[in-house]
Amino acid sequence: MKIVLLDTLTFGDSELSGFDTLGEVSNYETTSPEQTLERIKDVDVIVTNKVVITAEMMSACPRLKLICIAATGMNNVDLDAAKEKNIAVKNVAGYSTDSVIQHTFSMLFYLMGSSRYYDEYVKDGLWSDSGLFTHVAKPFFELKGKKWGIIGLGEIGSGVAKIATAFGAEVSYYSTSGKNDNAQYKRETISNILEQSDVISIHAPLNADTQDLIAHSELLMMKDGAILLNLGRGGIVSEDALSYILDAKPIYVGLDVLEKEPMDKNHALTKVKAQDRLYITPHIAWTSVEAREKLIASVIENIRSL
């Protein structure tokens, strides 16, 4: 069996030798659209994270039996074409839940605790020069008693809700599909979530219901000092609106996802003056060592079950 891994750089330094037990393996750190067909045309199995596999490509691959998506989202593969050509497509779900939940709180406490400011204060020598044992110029707050609004109460959102509740936060949620009904937490309208919450975290997919869900007018609804965290998908929060509002309104924002990844060097968010209230990580919430190990093991199992 011939197997090709098209974008192994997304696995980081994870061990990939398990694939070698399955057949003849070709590894590529990255694969451009122009390189894809040449690399897949004679294989039985494709492993891709974000490399796009089109209907035209499948037609040119007579041996292809399985496309393994090393992720949960499947929008990089033409699923209708795969079904028509009797090519199995398998993704991996649930592998990164704990990692994303943990990163949500990592982002929250970085912003809530003014961590950037205090770290720089010490490392710049200002604490040493101060003559005082402490420094409280930047106030920070406890999570206990705060209102936390969750947008998208799926597996990840529910995990965040459980931990937020353990910290003493009052949790409510907005169902982006309108179908989720969890009696454990109060269901709210999106307006109430935005207007009343001290912390808002997004754990929803990008679709017609969530595209630009949080735009200019929605950002203006937020309380001064509130924290917005997007760990769902880029495109749910309007980045153009955000780049303007951050300098006009004292809110705090943490983003692990952007509409275009990687972001452009001249992205509007890089020009925001209030950088101390903006925290961006390069889509890493899913990438704990443990999550990547689970992902690779699941992909290998998907191939074995062919």
Separation CA 279–CA 114 (nearest Å): 11
d(CA 302, CA 306): 7
Q: Which long-range contacts (CB under 8 A, 24 or more apart) does 61-70 make?
A: 63/2, 64/40, 65/306, 66/90, 66/302, 66/303, 66/306, 68/299, 68/302, 68/303, 70/10, 70/11, 70/295, 70/296, 70/299
CB 203 within 8 A of CB 231: yes
Distance CA 122, CA 107 (A): 21
* Catalytic choice (188, 203, 218, 233): 233
- Say whether 63 is catalytic: no
**Exactly one of 203, 277, 283, 292 is catalytic; which is it?**
283
Q: Has 216 been annotated as catalytic?
A: no
Whether 256 and 225 have beta carbons less than 8 Å apart is answered as: no
261, 290, 301, 304: the catalytic one is 261
| Phi, psi angle pair for 149, to nearest 5° | -105, 125
Structure tokens that stand for 87 in this block = 């090519």
Task: Check if 233 is active-site.
Answer: yes
Instruction: Please identify every residue annotated as catalytic.
Output: 233, 261, 283
